[in-house]
Amino acid sequence: MARYVTSKLLYTLLSLFILITATFFLMKAIPGDPFMSEKEVPAPIRARLEAQYGLDKPLMTQYVNYLGNIVQGDLGISMKKLNQEVGNIIGQTFGVSLRLGLIAVVVSTIVGVTLGLLAALYHRKFIDSLVMVVAVIGIAVPSFVLASLLQYTFGLKLGLFPITGTKTLLGYVLPVMALSAGPIAYIARLTRSSMLEVLNADYIKTAKAKGLKWPAILWKHVIRNGILPVVTYVGPMTANVVTGSVVVERIFGIGGIGKVFVDSITNRDYTLIMGITLFYGIILMAARFITDIVYVLVDPRIKLTSGKEG
Amino acid sequence: MANDNITNKQSLPALTAADFEPVNINERESEVIKRESLTAWRDTWERLRRNKVAMSGLVALIVIIIASILGPYVAYWVHGYDYQTNDLMATNQKPSALHWFGTDDLGRDMFVRTWSGARISLIVGVAAALIDLLIGVIYGGIMGYFGGRVDTIMNKFSEVLYAIPYLLVTILLLVVFEPSLGTIILALTITGWINMSWIVRGEIMKLKSREYVLASRSMGAGTGRLLFRHLLPNASGPIIVTLTLSVPNAIFAESFLSFLGLGVQAPISSLGSMVENALTGWMYYPWRMLFPAVLISVIMLAFNLLGDGLRDALDPSLKNK
Amino acid sequence: MKKKSWMMLLTLVLVIGTVLAACGSAEETTTTDSGTPTETTTGEGATTEPATDANLAADQTLRLNLSAEPPTLDPAQAQDSQANTALRFMYEGLATIGEDGQPKAGAAESWDISEDGLTYTFHLRQGATWNNGDPVTANDFVFAWQRALSPETVPAPVYAYQLYYIKGAEAFNTGETTDFSTVGVKAVDENTLEVTLTNPTPYFLGLTSFYTYYPVHQATVEGNEAWAADLNTMVTNGPFTLTTWTTGSEMGWTKNDKYWDAANIKLTNVTASIVNSGATETSQYQGNEIDYAGAPTGEIPTDQIQPLSEQLKDEFKLTDIASTYYYEFNTKEAPFNNVKIRKAFAMAIDRQSLIDNVTKAGQTPAFGFVPTSIAGLNNQSFRDEHPDSDYFKEDAAAAKTLLEEGMKEEGYTTLPPITLLYNTSENHQKLALAVADMWKNNLGVEIQTKNEEWSVFLESRKTGNFQIARAGWSADYNDPMTYMDMFVTGGGNNNTGFANEEYDALIDAAYKGGNDPEKRMQDMAAAEKILIGDNMVIMPVYYYTQASLTKPYLKGVTTDFSGAINFTRAYLEQQ
């Protein structure tokens, strides 16, 4: 295991290096720069700006300089949000997205698993159909439509929740609903099919025959075994949700990292683009790494290999 | 009670040798398969055909496809509307006998636009999903099957590709290529297949240590046979669920692309971009959002039902249930 | 199986039903709302009377929304309208713009202007202080302006050119000289600031109310590059102090009791959410989360302008602002290298119909470049004194003839393919499609429309990679020059390839002719005629308005010629 982890870490560092390199040159290849606006910046001022940010140097020099800074742990200063450190911007806005995202993950896991379990236990009964209907709607309504319907109906017309902002706990309700609708639907479907498989398995019949109490069977055997696919889905989903949803953040006025990232690209805020990309890359790779480990932990039949042999 | 039984037994006629005939001991004959032999696809189709829910999904899809082809012509024959001609005197009209689905903010007929939008969305969604499927299954299959260093490297490559900001990639595509349906599909698939490959990888990793794989391998089955006859068919459930989800995902991702200027160029539109266009004023002009949004939902529903049915039909463990 | 098909039906019904129900209920409320009698707010007459403390609301907290976070709160670095709104709370320049649009005393109590119009002597207000108690001195202005102009400042302030009216400023900024004493700014004593200009500039007083001219607190700025990125290190001289700033979410200001005119500042707090969605903003407004919605701080979506203007008749307002929407021709690219073809395109659209049916915000059809709200002489607007109606007329038939003549001159039997370029936005797209449709109907020309992401679009336009492109220009100061100097040969914002010596000469004369205002205005009008009437380098579409919603109890909000908004003297009445 230790050898596996070390080799994975080395590969991850290499991937991050490739990610930085690819993003850096991609970013420079697209038209535009941080100083563009409807009113053209006068040439002498533009030249000075480029010199100050080192944008007048050859591309390779810029790249090497950036790598040097990264190695020293310096993400640089935003080119658009003047004098604000990239690290600070990521820290502040990620905190907001993380809080919202984690709530959404917990809510969608609990609700999704419960719904899925109910559907499986009452297979081909009314509850089953109802859950599947909810699941399909959750997937069928796009998040930007759902967010704006929720906001208008529950925020404005019924006045039950704040229209924007997450200053109060109530403010989280609508954004969390908008964020979790899709995952709830997906988790419910996943749980249902996996639980159905488990419920028909021989060991459940054995447990029943042995005279075990139903709640004990449910907890010890059915849920434990049926939850595996959900676990493997929740990992990457968490990475996805906590890195911020532009749509939900924009509609509900939440100062999260998703919105900042899209803005940084529109603004060609080079240092901020690189910083957030690197940060996202680390989160993504960590989440995938953990998922792989979980695979092994929950199912001993799966082997992870780091050696040459396949 | 017991007495009655005894009485009955006694009344049975006596058995003679003529009452017996020898069991056919021809082993060859006993191995003959009486049921008509079906290919895997025939078999799947037979089972799918018996699944009414899945079939209704299929029928709904066929109806939508036909309507998206004929719908615009119908409105043109009846009223002479096309998808792009403005009528500034008739903007934001409610649905009426003249405009069945109402008109949009430039007075264009929503009926024509909804169906021609559905056509674009279906082409883009299905094409992107199929390409994702093809690349994802091959790539994920190789990762999961070979494992080890091959897996690590291919896996890392897909992670890097996934982590590169998608917006940057699409903006670059926009600069390099002219906007067209092909460019859109390219933009959608350039990272779209990764998710599929991860799902396939996970499934194959799980399945390859199963007993039947070992058995097949010990009987001398090669990589190709193992992958395509044993592993992939058994992984078809998650693959098909992902596939049915990736069609609608592609349909929405396309509307995001048109927002960036890479999607279909106005005045042509897709369902996704119509919904997005109507979003700021839906409380006043609900029909502009309603028709395309409902159509998207129905398309997604149909794909989901069909997908569920396909999964059941393909799953070997559910064969005779 | 039966249950399953029933389930599908249920799903279908639910999907459709949900959407229907949501839409249906919305529509119902619409009608009820518009049916409400609007006579309830009859307090219009009261607005002109000064507010007595009796009818002031107990809680004087103004709630706003900003559609974007100001990228910086450093006056020297600011470039956008959000920063303008925010900085106006926090700083005060030498002059401020009064309700009548004329400059009035700000940090300077009074000023003298020399006869030649070149030297301004500002007498600063005695006893005015920064919010840390330090006095505001003439030196603070000198320091601020020197900082904005200095090539050493990091990053280089983009708007330094707003100070180029001052003698020697441009040379100092571009590094021609490193001696700041050559620049025409001098602190005569603590309270007297003397400014010398290059040319007589009639609008210079107005400029001193602009953020690039704000003073900064020397001790704070020196030695801390990031002073304006943290509210704890900002020292300001305006009526409010920034007291909360959560990146990307919220900003908040509290009344500055040390401000010299604090007695006339009624608001105690201002809060601003940061939401970049017009639909959300109007919901916030209707849900009573904010007191003001719309431009310039935010946006009312085009689709909602008409319904809201009927529903909230007394709260909805359209204001003319100094911005022009136009299409620019690339005069180097076929077929728009031919003036007749350019004219034909400009004449072949119906601007009023576009405004009534597409943009819907009561804009004024534009036939010139200088918008209606730019001042001329004698309290009249430039547009009133020099009407744009002589430059050209809309006439589909004449346009068609002109197009044919132009095509004959160029030897075309059919026009080369034409693409109209615009930057991605719902509104630009609608207008482009409608215009293209009019060209098709009136000229029989099929053109393509193409949208590009903002930076890509700017790059295309800058490098001349377009045939016709959408453009918009908003005024920096209240004078026609802010428009007219744009198309001089080789001008930084002149993407059209237009080069005309006569035009250049007229603009140059107007630059230097500040002492003869009458002739100066005539020169600029003549230049405008060359630009549009003779050469049709740009095709004006409309002069902008901005749409906004103001709660009936919010009073004392003022908007200047450019649409910039001032909430500092606002107050909330009892509801």
pLDDT (tens digit per residue) in C16-71? 444 444 444 333 333 333 333 333 333 333 334 455 666 899 999 999 999 999 99
pLDDT band at C139 (very low <50, low <70, confident <90, very high): very high
Region B56-79 average pLDDT: 89
Residue A89 has pLDDT above 90, yes or no: yes
pLDDT (tens digit per residue) in B177-207? 877 888 889 988 998 899 899 888 888 887 8
pLDDT band at C421 (very low <50, low <70, confident <90, very high): very high
Which residues is C293 bridged to in the sheet? C549
Lowest model confidence (mean pLDDT) among B44-58, C109-123, C510-524: B44-58
Q: What is the pLDDT of residue C24?
A: 40
Q: What is the pLDDT of residue A124?
A: 78
The DSSP-derived string for B149-201 is HHHHHHHHHHHHHHHS-HHHHHHHHHHHS---HHHHHHHHHHHHHHHHHHHHH
pLDDT (tens digit per residue) in A179-215? 999 899 889 988 888 888 788 888 888 888 888 888 8
The gap from C-alpha A119 to its chain's centroid, in whole angstroms, comes to 27
Q: What is the pLDDT of residue C120?
A: 96
- Tokens 């900064």 sit on residue: C216
B256 belongs to a structural domain: yes
Question: Which CA distances in Å does C76 have to A80, C53, C155, C157, C161?
Answer: 14, 37, 10, 6, 11
The strand ranges marked E within C269-415 are 269-274, 292-294, 316-329, 364-365
CA distance C323 to C339: 25
Question: How many residues comprise chain A?
Answer: 310
pLDDT band at B139 (very low <50, low <70, confident <90, very high): very high
Q: What is the pLDDT of residue B9?
A: 52
If one compares A164 and A303, the residue with the highest pLDDT of the two is A164
To 5 degrees, how large is the angle CA B146–CA B40–CA B51? Answer: 115
Residue C217 corresponds to which tokens in the numbers above? Answer: 């607190």
Residue B2 has pLDDT above 50, yes or no: no
Question: Which CA distances in Å does C370 have to A161, B167, C404, C546?
Answer: 46, 38, 30, 17
| CB-closest option in C307, C356, C429 to B266 | C429
If one compares B212 and A113, the residue with the highest pLDDT of the two is A113
CA distance A302 to B92: 59
β-strands C448-452, C419-423 pairing: parallel
CATH number at residue B216: 1.10.3720.10
pLDDT (tens digit per residue) in B21-38? 776 666 666 666 666 666
The DSSP-derived string for C352-390 is HHHIIIII-S-PEE-SSSS-TTSB-STTSBHHHHS-GGG
CA distance B31 to A161: 70
Region A154-167 average pLDDT: 90
Q: Is C195 helix (H, G, I), strand (E, B) or coil?
A: strand
If one compares C378 and C540, the residue with the highest pLDDT of the two is C540
Region C486-493 average pLDDT: 90
Q: What is the pLDDT of residue B43?
A: 77
Residue B228 to chain C, least CA–CA distance (Å): 31
Q: What is the pLDDT of residue B168?
A: 87
pLDDT band at C383 (very low <50, low <70, confident <90, very high): very high
Residue B244 corresponds to which tokens in the numbers above? Answer: 């049915």
Residue A215 corresponds to which tokens in the numbers above? Answer: 């709640």
B199 belongs to a structural domain: yes
Q: How many CB atoms lie within 10 A of CB A135?
A: 26
pLDDT band at C95 (very low <50, low <70, confident <90, very high): very high
- Biggest alpha carbon distance in chain C? 96
Region A90-98 average pLDDT: 93
| Mean pLDDT of the residues in chain C | 89
Residue of C nearest to B56 (CA): C5
pTM of the model: 0.86
Q: What is the pLDDT of residue C35?
A: 34
Between positions 198 and 217 of A, the ones with CB within 8 A of C are none
- Sign of the Cα pseudo-torsion (A263, A266, A272, A274, in order): positive
| Mean pLDDT of the residues in chain A | 87
Q: What is the pLDDT of residue C105?
A: 92
Q: Is C154 helix (H, G, I), strand (E, B) or coil?
A: coil
B26 belongs to a structural domain: no
Contact residues on chain B for A7, CB-CB shorter than 8 A: 152
| CB-closest option in A11, A22, A148 to B279 | A148
ipTM above 0.95, yes or no: no
Residue A290 to chain C, least CA–CA distance (Å): 31
Lowest model confidence (mean pLDDT) among B7-21, B204-218, C228-242, C334-348: B7-21
CA distance B231 to B213: 8
Region B45-51 average pLDDT: 83
Q: What is the pLDDT of residue C42?
A: 33
- Tokens 């398309």 sit on residue: B299
CA distance C434 to C230: 47
> What percent of chain A stands above pLDDT 90?
45
Task: Compute the half-sphere exposure of residue A9: CA atoms within 13 Å on the CB side of its CA.
Answer: 6
Q: Is C240 helix (H, G, I), strand (E, B) or coil?
A: strand
- C533 exposed, middle or buried (CB, 10 Å; 0-12, 13-18, 19+)? middle
Region C188-197 average pLDDT: 95
pLDDT band at A302 (very low <50, low <70, confident <90, very high): low
Helix axes A257-267, A270-298, angle to 10 degrees: 140
Q: What is the pLDDT of residue B183?
A: 86
Q: What is the pLDDT of residue C29?
A: 33
Question: Cβ of B286 and C24 within 8 Å?
Answer: yes
Question: Cβ of A133 and C249 within 8 Å?
Answer: no
> What percent of chain B stands above pLDDT 90?
22
Report which DSSP code applies to C424.
Answer: S
| CB-closest option in C8, C353, C426 to B88 | C353
B44 belongs to a structural domain: no
| Side chain identity, residue A252 | F
| Side chain identity, residue A148 | S
If one compares C137 and C48, the residue with the highest pLDDT of the two is C137
Question: Which CA distances in Å does C25 have to A140, A144, B274, C29, C196?
Answer: 21, 19, 22, 6, 64
Question: Cβ of C437 and B86 within 8 Å?
Answer: yes
Q: What is the pLDDT of residue C194?
A: 96
The gap from C-alpha C269 to its chain's centroid, in whole angstroms, comes to 25
Between positions 280 and 319 of B, the ones with CB within 8 A of A are 282-283, 289, 293, 296-297, 300-301, 304
Q: Is B260 on the interface with A (CB under 8 A)?
A: no
Question: Cβ of C456 and A32 within 8 Å?
Answer: yes
Helix ranges restricted to H, chain A: 2-29, 43-52, 59-71, 86-121, 126-140, 143-150, 173-199, 202-209, 214-217, 224-226, 228-242, 246-251, 257-267, 270-298
> What percent of chain B stands above pLDDT 70?
87
Question: Cβ of C433 and B266 within 8 Å?
Answer: yes
Q: Which of B159, C499, B59, C12 lies closest to A280 in space, CA to CA?
A: B159
Q: Which residues contact C238 (CB under 8 A, 6 or more apart)?
A: C87, C88, C89, C90, C91, C92, C256, C259, C568
CA distance C443 to C481: 34
Q: Which of C426, C451, C422, C424 lies closest to C304 in space, CA to CA?
A: C426
pLDDT (tens digit per residue) in B152-176? 899 889 989 988 888 888 888 878 8
Structural domains for chain C: 81-227 (3.90.76.10), 323-544 (3.10.105.10)
Question: How many residues comprise chain C?
Answer: 575
pLDDT (tens digit per residue) in B225-268? 888 878 887 787 778 877 877 887 888 788 777 666 667 777 88
Region B15-24 average pLDDT: 76
Which residues is B222 bridged to in the sheet? none
Q: How many CB atoms lie within 10 A of CB C41?
A: 11
B22 belongs to a structural domain: no
Region C169-194 average pLDDT: 94
Q: What is the pLDDT of residue A299?
A: 66
Instruction: Look up the domain containing B240 and give its range.
Output: 50-83+100-318
Q: What is the pLDDT of residue A257?
A: 93
B222 belongs to a structural domain: yes
Sheet hosting strand C61-66, strand order edge to edge:
C61-66, C269-274, C250-255, C240-246
CA distance B236 to C275: 44
B45 belongs to a structural domain: no
Q: Is B40 on the interface with C (CB under 8 A)?
A: no
> What percent of chain C stands above pLDDT 70?
91
Q: What is the pLDDT of residue C108?
A: 95
Task: Compute the half-sphere exposure of residue C325: CA atoms within 13 Å on the CB side of its CA.
Answer: 20
Structural domain count of chain B = 1
Q: What is the pLDDT of residue C41?
A: 32
Q: Is B293 on the interface with C (CB under 8 A)?
A: yes
Between positions 52 and 91 of B, the ones with CB within 8 A of C are 52-53, 56-57, 84-86, 88-89, 91
Q: What is the pLDDT of residue B52?
A: 83
Residue B293 has pLDDT above 50, yes or no: yes
